[in-house]
Structure 1
Amino acid sequence: MSEDIATNRKAGRDFHITAKFEAGLELKGTEVKSIRAGKINISDAFARVEKGQVFLYGCDIQPWETAAEWFNHPAKRPRRLLLNKKEIFKMEQATALQGCTLPLLRMYWKNRRVKVEIGIGKGKTHADQRHDLKKKVEMREVQREIQRFNRR
């Protein structure tokens, strides 16, 4: 079982997610302790392919409070993601040719290791966002009517 550490709700609202990848995350010891304490924000996090490797940017892991200053880490440093070459190649093709981005969808524990879920996403327009919101409201009303009908 995997336990969620953090989820990025903005990614589902702002992007059409076409594919998802699971990746390991290269962290320091104080970063893991900060994650366990819940001092993390992934709302603006995204990945970028550089020189055959994938790096995570914008992931805000606050420094661990009880560690010495020389031992702590910067809050928003780029972190390397651990992926297979095939997955890196797919991500590189999608970002270069199709104009897609790689938003961070969620971060979770798997076998005592921190894993991230990266999606290949194409940005939604405001019209798409309004359409999704309208569809969500209609589904909610349909569910209410079904419940009201079943109560009789």
Structure 2
Amino acid sequence: MVKKLNINNRRAYFDYELINKYKFIAGIELLGSEVKSIKNNNVSLNNSYCKLIKNNIYVFDMYVSNYLLGMNFNPKRVKKLLLKRKEINFIYNKINDLKLNIIPTNIFINERGYIKLIFFLAKSKKNYDKRQSIKNKYFEKLDKINYNSK
């Protein structure tokens, strides 16, 4: 039986305008004790980002805490994403043409038991866009409260 894994980067939805058309799913190159630690939900995607370096995509600042019974490693170790060359070339072209960022949003375990990372190509929001999204969330909550009180 495969455990449910629900790890989200909530900050990414606030700081970036994610482009749904450019959603990718990739495997992650991990150590054995990192896999066990991730399966125990000891991972955080907050403030993590991806970079394209020498035709490979790497995840930076993804925090994976040390597994108690395994070997110790650097919790913020840079991890390589496993993608096809065609996908990497497509991402490279979009980043250079449209000036986009690569932002990881979710980690999940697929039906075969492999740990996968979902990432988007995104544009960073300006401060006034962030304030507007806070305002919209506030009014949505008010509408729900008013609707439920009737």
Measured after TM superposition, the shift of residue 2 of structure 1 is 8.6
Kept in 1, the 8 Å contact 2:27–2:82? The answer is yes
**Distance (whole Å) between structure 2 residues aligned to residue 60 and residue 140 of structure 1:** 32
**Distance (whole Å) between structure 1 residues aligned to residue 3 and residue 86 of structure 2:** 24
TM-score, with structure 1 as normaliser: 0.86
Q: What secondary structure, in the 3-state scheme, does the structure 2 residue paired with 1:4 have? A: coil
Measured after TM superposition, the shift of residue 73 of structure 1 is 2.5
Q: What secondary structure, in the 3-state scheme, does the structure 1 residue paired with 2:68 have? A: coil
1:62-109 CA-to-partner distances (Å, cap 9, x unmatched) read 222222xxx433211111111122321222123223221111101111
**Distance (whole Å) between structure 2 residues aligned to residue 4 and residue 47 of structure 1:** 21
**Pair 1:28-2:31 in alignment:** yes
Identity %: 23
Measured after TM superposition, the shift of residue 135 of structure 1 is 1.3
Whichever of the two has the greater Rg, that structure is: 1
* Count of aligned pairs: 146
**Distance (whole Å) between structure 2 residues aligned to residue 59 and residue 133 of structure 1:** 26
Tell me the equivalent position of 1:88: 88
In the TM superposition, 1:88-127 aligns within 5 A as: 88-111=88-111, 112-127=113-128
**Distance (whole Å) between structure 2 residues aligned to residue 47 and residue 128 of structure 1:** 23
Kept in 2, the 8 Å contact 1:5–1:35? The answer is no
Measured after TM superposition, the shift of residue 5 of structure 1 is 3.7
TM-score, with structure 2 as normaliser: 0.87
Please report the RMSD computed on the Cα atoms of aligned residues, expressed in angstroms: 1.9
